[in-house]
Amino acid sequence: MSLAVGHDRKQERVLAAAASVFAERGFHKASVRDVVAAAGMSLAGLYHYFPSKADLLYEITARAFDSLLARLDAAPAGSPRQRLTTFVRNHLLFFLSRPDEMKVLVRETESLPEGLEAEVAEKKRRYYQRGHDILRELDAGRNSEEELRLATLALFGMLNWTYSWYRPERDGSPERLTERMLGLFLDGFLGSPAGLTASALVAPAAVSCGDDDEL
């Protein structure tokens, strides 16, 4: 194993431990020593990789958005419906396998120092905009910009709290959950034809494999 690979693995171990501690105790109540204990390393070893607790929080949140955006960039092109399916599935697959990171993103990003918070907020805006742009293409001019904004935020609202209730034995695989959530989002609980519905916007297609601060 190369030194670089070993270094990366140790960083990942520290960040996973920090995400677990922050998710359980909250950023402000957690201490660096809590993270050290969870990671099974020395205090000096942790500071070698991350100079402060705020740096840990920044890396957890920034890396999450960077990974989400990179996965979208690597996904094959397709129709707006296909891209929305990819977007939702990507989000669920990523965060259902990393529930601690999702908790930290939802609850703790405002705990970052101003400069670091601004950097994460920019990544968040880019991610929000990707979802918003897909919905705009699906809508094809049927709804106002305000309706699209509400629809985008509603979609993220559905996705971001999944970690708090999802159980695979009850709710199915992330792929199956993607289908069910898209059905609710696009067609509504009763399949109403009003608003942003799947039938009104696009024909079903095979799946290939502001105020965004509210995201």
What stretch(es) of the chain map to CATH 1.10.357.10? Answer: 58-214
With bands split at pLDDT 50, 70 and 90, how would you rate the model's confidence at 215? low
CB 185 within 8 A of CB 191: no
Taking the whole predicted model, whether its pTM rises above 0.95 is answered as no
CATH class of 58-214: mainly alpha
CA–CA dist 37, 23 (Å, integer): 15
State yes or no: pLDDT of 37 exceeds 90: yes
Tokens for 17?
């431990």
Are the C-beta atoms of 83 and 134 separated by less than 8 Å? yes
pLDDT digits (tens, 9 = 90+) for 116-126: 999 999 999 99
| CATH 1.10.10.60 intervals, the chain | 1-51
Residue-wise pLDDT for 1-17, tens only, equals: 443 445 588 899 999 99
CATH superfamily of 1-51: Homeodomain-like (1.10.10.60)
Q: What would the pLDDT profile of 39-55 be if each residue is shown by its tens digit?
A: 999 999 899 999 999 99
The H or E element that residue 96 is part of is helix 80-96
